[in-house]
A and B are shown apart, each in its own frame.
Chain A
Amino acid sequence: MASAISISGVTKRFGKYTAVDRLDLEVPVGLTFGLLGPNGAGKTTTIRMVMNITKADEGTIRVLGEPLADEMQERIGYLPEERGLYRKMTVIDQLLFFAAIKSVEKKTALSRLEKWIDVMDLRPWLGKKTEELSKGMQQKVQFLGTIIHDPEVLILDEPFSGLDPINVVLVKDFLADFKKQGKTIVFSTHVMEQAEKLCDRIALIYRGKKLLDGTVKEIKNAYRDRVPLPPPVEPEPELEKIFIKAVEESGLQAPTSEELR
């Protein structure tokens, strides 16, 4: 299978500290890949090197079979962990700016947006300044900005951090849709549950080194004898789903940002 991202022997040091240590990683095209590890494991540094934001000290990185170049950034959608928007810009100006710096023509960007605006209930907000939007609404805009150039690969650094359950579902649905189009998704997280549910393959890194790599099933099988099994549980509804159901059944409208302020 062709690799969407291929990392071999990559090392990155900051002074005496080695953030990433001779890392090898293959992300096959069309899969959802989870980059796992505790805080400070080197996930963000690895992702930044793939995005050509930080340069590797050693080793090579190829994306979609090609060596790193600035043009490559236009084929990747990147949602950094530290993310935000221009507070004083209107939603539409902001989205068109994101499109423009990914070399997307205005006309193309507008027609792509048209598809998403209604799905995300953004239409009434297009002319509003970002700072007037609720946090959830801002996250939708942020997400839309990440995919406005219709990328082949999506790299998300801790995409669920700071999202409320409703937006988590929105992002999950979105990822599923993206995957259906045969596109590659890489996301980092330190929440193992999410990784287990969403990923085809996972890699665990710790102190810049890769400890585990494979499909979830492969890894589970490899550790079956060494890790105690959990007691069998009755299937029960997930709290997340319950939350959403309760909200729906309440019949109440979502608060507007006016109310939230």
Chain B
Amino acid sequence: MNRKLFHVIRREYLQQVKTKGFWIGTILIPTLGLVFVYLQVILASTLIPEGKIGVVDLTGRLYEPLVLEQKAVSDVDSKDGKQEEKARRVPAKITFFDVKGTVETLPDVRKELNARVQKKEIKAYVVIPADGLETGKVEWRARSVKADMILRESVERALARAGTKERLKDQGVDPAVYEKARLTVTLDPREASEKVTSEDAKNVGVNLAVSGVLFFLIYISIFIYGAFIMRGVLEEKNNRIVEVIISSVKPTTLMLGKIIGIGLVGLTQYAVWGLFAFAITLPGIVGVMGLAGGAIPSIPGGTILAFVVFFLLGYFLYAGLYAALAAPFNTEQEAQQLVMIPGMMLILASTMWFFAFNTPDGTLARVLSLFPFTAPLLMFMRISVQPPPAWEIALSIGILLLTIWGVAWFAGRVYRVGILMYGKKPTLPEIIRWARAAD
């Protein structure tokens, strides 16, 4: 019996792992992921705001300070300025030029500048109204009101600084004081406990990113390997091999062997990806997030344990469902209707991540982390953000185990009857009747 299960698992595993498709997928997915990450890094550095921008200054006071302000930004960029200060400013290649104008000539000035913008001679222009220093309202004219977000923000910041300094002068304060007095504040999140935690402030961001990646990994693997199981079940039916096999092996053994075998294929893929990740991806993520040092984050052991436990529980729960829901049908299209049900529950779970992330002890997060079909994802998220009381984790695992047992019972019965049924597509009530009648 056990040896037969072993042979079924072995066959299932080797058949999948031996295919070219498996290795192409295994290598291609992280490679594409890496290419994507690095493209983003490279592209992000090209997002430097640049262009000629006309300034119609009706206050008559802001143009000069604005140019000075812009020069200061460029100096910080080129000089080896304070690290923090540098990170906060976007390097800019903006050139401002003065456009003379008054309230009376403004329509003509606009007309001329509009034409230059449309001819792409200049990127954009701003009109600072006479009361601009009081209201802070400045007109921005460009080819599109949506594009050039970063450019707009740079101009906004430069204008704000220049304006603030002018307003300080009005109050009799030396604008130099402004630079000296400015203070940037960073919250340093720590747990409210005496114990020393491994998550120091710099690690928190990376750890959350890793939790997010692991959360997504549980979600996507259940989906992908669920589909593998469905396809495997249908393939054995369509090849008409299933009756040959179950004259040697119990149907439940065949089903279990398939689930475990494909689960092991998934773990193999993880192992390969894990190697990839430690070799390259993590420094990449760290780099993207602009975190200093590029140190490999130390993921808390609890998160990894929770990942393994809830991945396995989720996998077995959904794998059983996919096997049961595929068995009665002849084609993937026929099975699709019913297979959508677990799919929807998975999607529901994945869309609820923010609740588990932002308010891990809120009612919604607590309910969803106990409901068995969303628990594998949401309990994992809660644990990785703010570990809930042990009894809640235990209860969630308990409910999951009970549900898995129930699904296995149902799946075993439906599978046993379903795999021998060809021809007409059965209805859900018929399938439930099989489960009740089978023995």
Contacts and interface: CB of A to CB of B under 8 A. Distances in A.
Interface in B328-381: none
A89 B15 contact: yes
A50 to B, nearest CB: 10
Contacts of A85: 239, 241
Among A55, A87, A100, A146, the one with the most B-chain Cβ atoms within 10 Å of its Cβ is: A100
Contact of B11 (A48, A84, A97): A97
A187 B8 CA distance: 28
A15 B421 CA distance: 14
Contacts, number: 63
A88 B18 CA distance: 10
A86 interface: yes
Interface in A91-142: 97-98, 100-103, 142
Contact of A86 (B3, B241, B439): B241
B247 A98 contact: no
A147 interface: no
B247 A86 contact: no
B248 A98 contact: yes
A102 B7 CA distance: 10
B138 interface: no
A216 to B, nearest CB: 28
B245 interface: yes
Contacts of B437: 15
Interface in B1-57: 1, 3-4, 7-8, 11, 15, 19
Interface string B224-249: 00000000000000011101111111
Interface residues of A, number: 30
A208 interface: no
B420 interface: yes
A47 B244 CA distance: 13
A100 B3 CA distance: 8
A80 B439 CA distance: 21
B250 interface: yes
Interface string A62-101: 0000000010011010111011111111000000011011
Contact of B244 (A15, A54, A100, A145): A145
Contacts of A244: none
A161 to B, nearest CB: 12
B333 to A, nearest CB: 20
Contacts of B439: 55
A84 B250 contact: no
Contacts of A79: 244
A35 interface: no
A83 B244 CA distance: 6
A88 B4 contact: no
A97 B4 CA distance: 10
Contacts of B3: 100, 103
B422 interface: yes
Given A70-B1, A86-B239, A88-B15, A97 B244 contact: no
A98 B4 CA distance: 10
Contacts of B249: 101
Contacts of A15: 433, 437
B247 A83 contact: no
A80 B236 CA distance: 14
Contact of A101 (B8, B422, B433): B8
Given A53-B420, A70-B1, A97 B246 contact: no
Contact of A78 (B241, B247, B420): B247
Contacts of B15: 86, 88-89
A148 to B, nearest CB: 10
Among B7, B11, B248, B420, the one with the most A-chain Cβ atoms within 10 Å of its Cβ is: B248
B240 A70 contact: no
Contacts of A78: 244, 247
Contacts of A98: 244, 248
A86 B19 CA distance: 14
A36 interface: no
B4 A103 contact: yes
Contacts of B420: 48, 53-54
A101 B7 contact: yes
B423 to A, nearest CB: 11
A53 B4 contact: no
A31 interface: no
Contacts of B19: 88
A87 B250 contact: no
B4 A101 contact: yes
Contacts of B248: 73-74, 98, 101-102
A20 interface: no
A26 to B, nearest CB: 22
A53 B243 contact: yes
A83 B8 contact: no
Nearest to B257: A101
B7 A87 contact: no
Contacts of A86: 15, 239, 241
A51 interface: yes
A84 B247 contact: no
A84 B4 contact: no
Contacts of A101: 4, 7-8, 245, 248-249
Among A51, A83, A84, A88, the one with the most B-chain Cβ atoms within 10 Å of its Cβ is: A84
Among B243, B245, B420, the one with the most A-chain Cβ atoms within 10 Å of its Cβ is: B243
B422 A82 contact: yes
A83 B241 contact: yes
Contacts of A97: 7, 11
Contacts of B243: 53, 80, 82-83
Nearest to B16: A88
B22 to A, nearest CB: 12
23 contacts: A15-B437, A48-B420, A53-B246, A70-B1, A70-B250, A78-B247, A79-B244, A80-B247, A82-B422, A83-B243, A85-B239, A85-B241, A86-B239, A87-B239, A88-B15, A89-B11, A89-B15, A97-B11, A100-B3, A101-B7, A101-B8, A101-B248, A142-B244
8 closest cross-chain pairs (CB), A and B: A84-B240, A80-B243, A84-B239, A101-B248, A100-B7, A78-B247, A84-B241, A82-B240
Given A80-B243, A101-B7, 6 more contacts: A73-B248, A74-B248, A84-B244, A86-B15, A101-B8, A101-B249
